[in-house]
Structures are given as C-alpha cells and as structure tokens.
Structure 1
C-alpha cells in the first residue's frame, strides 16, 4: 500500500491534540502515513478524522492493545495493512478512556455515540 509508511513511528502514547489542549480520549488511532496519533470519533475531539481531513492521509490503524485493524477514510471500510513500526499501541496500563487524571466524571455525557 503506497499510503502507508511502515517506518513512521507513532507521534506519542496519546492523542497529540488532546495532550496539547488538556482533553481526553476514548480510543486512539494511528495514521499509517505519518504516525500521528489521534483520538477516535467517539472521543470529544475526533482528532484522527481531523488529521485525515487536514492531510488526506486516508489510512489509520487502531492504537489499542491487541488490535491491528486498519480503516480507510476514503472507502469507509476496514482494510488489511502491513505491520507498522513499534510500538503498535499505547501502553497497556494507560486507562480507557484516558489519560489518567484528565477524564472528567461526566465523560459519558461528553462523547459522540
């Protein structure tokens, strides 16, 4: 797949934009083209999709422990993809939603369903 760079390392262990603005996420997604880690569409910020819209990087992979599926934003479908550079998920001890200490008590009222 030409839209994936298997050598691009993740941008961090959490959503870049949520970390910058003090927000929280439900699940994390990793860009297959550049390694940007953003939050899923259930999360308040929906930063993985915003990254796709800003860059055109169409393929993301789950950045959750034990998950290796890819999503293609253009075709709106789950697709197969290659193994990406390590690490392949956020740390297993990082809570979901996360990160620890930033998830508000009313988080379920703040997410997209």
Structure 2
C-alpha cells in the first residue's frame, strides 16, 4: 500500500457543490444512501460503501476516476481507490 496518493494529477474538481440532492445513481434507482462522496475527476456525487448501492466504488471501476472526497458536513478528506490511502487536498 502506498503511503501517499500517486494520482493527484487526476484531481480536476475540488469545489463541492453548494446544493447536493444525493447520489445520482440512488436517485435514479429509487435507493437510499448512508454517506455521499464527490468524484475529484468529474464532480459527480455518489454514495459510500456503507450504502446499499456502493456507487462511489462502482464509479471508480466504470469511469476509472481514482479519487473521491467526502461531502459530509465537516469532513474534508479524500480517498484514492488505487493507492488505498486517505488524505486531504490543499485547495487555494
């Protein structure tokens, strides 16, 4: 396991939307979620692995975008699926 994320060049989106309806897949499929994550590659909102759909992980496997960040209130950490490391992205 890497000690650092080696995929930071793939971080294209850092701003969290002001309004988040929920996981785009859960909303489409009529499912519920536990926690929400934002893809740093495209900005889409998906649900965590504790949610029934596990859509953030599915998005990583389908789109190949390796880094998600928590959009839960008060949380500012990101996760790299490839390096299996949590970290904070410094935003100017």
Which bin holds the TM-score, normalised by the shorter protein? 0.7 to 0.9
> Which structure is larger by alpha-carbon Rg, 1 or 2?
1
Task: Please provide the CA RMSD for this pair.
Answer: 2.1
Q: Deviations over 1:20-71 (max 9, x none)?
A: 0110000001101111100000000000000000011001100100000000
Moved over 6 A (4+): none
TM-score by length of 2: 0.81
| Higher normalized strand content (fraction of residues) | 2
What SS does the aligned partner of 1:13 have? coil
Is 1:34 paired with 2:42?
A: yes
Structure 2, unpaired ranges of 5+ = 1-7
Q: Give 1:5 shift.
A: 1.1
TM-score by length of 1: 0.67
Q: Is the 8 A contact 2:13 2:39 kept in 1?
A: no
Q: Is the 8 A contact 1:29 1:40 kept in 2?
A: yes
Question: Number of residues paired by the alignment?
Answer: 84
